[in-house]
Amino acid sequence: MAATENISEADFHCGTVALLGRPNVGKSTLMNRIIGAKVAIVTPKPQTTRHRILGIFTDEKSQVVFVDTPGIHKGGMQLNKNMVRVAYAAAEEADVLAIMQDASKPMDSATRTLIEQFATGRLTQPRIHVLNKIDCMDKNQLLPRLMMMQRLDPGAVAYVPVSAKKGKQTESLMKELIKQLPVQDAMYDPDWFTDQSQRQLAAEYVREQVFLSMHQEIPFQTAVDIERFEEIDGLIEIDAVILVGSERHKPMLIGKGGERMKAVGTKARLGLEKILDSRVRLNIWAKVDEDWFDHPGKLMDLGLGSDQ
């Protein structure tokens, strides 16, 4: 989905905000909440987001282009390395850095290191620290956490506690973000809320249901490839292949009598019908590809290269 016309006002603020942080801190949930649409899939499992996703918020005075990024983590596979490169590339290009953390958990060394890295690094964009999941923490712990953040990054322009899941304080966060954006015309048509194609959305919605239905390591060795996407007489026909990284994972995904695969397809189809506003016929099947997640060429074909 791309821009088709611009909004232009003398005091109109527009720019990009990179959502950065460790895995599973709520970046996608926050973006979806602010946009008011399910732009990025969300699961309780870390590393759900694998590539850069734009979510576009527009009102009369501003356009905020959120760049949802993969969680910054360590991993030896090519997929993990690509995901981290995507996150840092988004930070390089953004107008504002929104660095998120799960404030309901004690500050761990990896989160501290990440905060200090952005605080002392070469990037000069305004930094806003977003302390998420305040609905899950003791209120008496919030002020000490905010004070800790001020010590770790005294050069940040704001420290905003939020609950992305419940929508608490998101308006305050938006005010802080918009203040830091340049005054310029909108980059995207006001009707657009993402730059993802319908084909990309289809792949993500299927992958979300795989993540929600499977356990342990299996979701992280699965990917979705859309082989066909076409509209025929008001019906969208989609053929989706779910790649699995091991022969033993295939029967686990399919389930007894195909029940798990059927459930994945049904839930994904219902979500797609809602966002695409159309009837959908979704055909899915599993295929074993044992090295897809560590093969640069295959990752590129799946849209998971380091430049995606």
123-132, 153-162, 219-228, 252-261: range with lowest mean pLDDT: 219-228
How many CB atoms sit inside 10 A of residue 295's CB? 16
**CB proximity list for 15: less than 8 A, separation 6 or greater:** 64, 65, 94, 95, 96, 180, 181, 182, 184
1 pLDDT more than 70: no
What is the reported pLDDT for 142? 96
Distance of alpha carbon 257 from alpha carbon 259, whole angstroms: 5
Q: What are the tens digits of pLDDT across the range 28-49?
A: 999 999 999 888 877 776 656 6
pLDDT value, residue 165 = 95
Q: Measure the CA–CA gap between 196 and 145, rounded to whole angstroms.
A: 36
User: Within 13 Å of residue 214, how many CA atoms lie on the same side as its CB?
Assistant: 26
- Per-residue pLDDT of 120-177, as tens digits, reads 999 999 999 999 999 999 989 999 999 999 999 999 999 999 999 999 999 999 999 9
Give every strand in the sheet of 222-232, ordered side by side.
222-232, 235-244, 279-288
Report how far residue 130's alpha carbon sits from residue 100's, in angstroms, rounded to the nearest whole number: 5
For 287-303, the pLDDT digits (tens) are 998 877 777 777 677 67
Give the end-to-end CA distance of the chain in Å, rounded to a whole number: 15
Task: Domains for the chain: give ranges and CATH numbers.
Answer: 13-180 (3.40.50.300), 198-301 (3.30.300.20)
The pLDDT of residue 228 is above 80: yes
**Quick check: 102 and 25 in contact, CB under 8 A?**
yes
Higher per-residue confidence, 44 vs 258? 258
Task: List, as own/partner pairs, every contact residues 259-266 make where C-beta atoms lie below 8 angstroms and the sequence separation is at least 24, other chains included.
Answer: 260/213, 261/285, 261/286, 263/209, 263/213, 264/206, 264/209, 264/210, 264/213, 265/206, 265/209
pLDDT reported for residue 122? 94
Q: Which residues pair with 223 in a beta bridge?
A: 243
- Which one, of 274, 303, 271, lies nearest residue 41 by Cα? 271
Pairing of strands 222-232, 235-244: antiparallel
pLDDT of 5 reads 47
pLDDT value, residue 49: 67
Comparing 33-42, 69-78, 119-128, 222-231, which segment has the lowest mean pLDDT?
69-78
pLDDT tens-digit readout, 179-195: 999 999 999 999 999 98
CA dihedral 63, 40, 52, 168 (to 10 degrees): 50
**Please, what is the average pLDDT of the chain?**
88
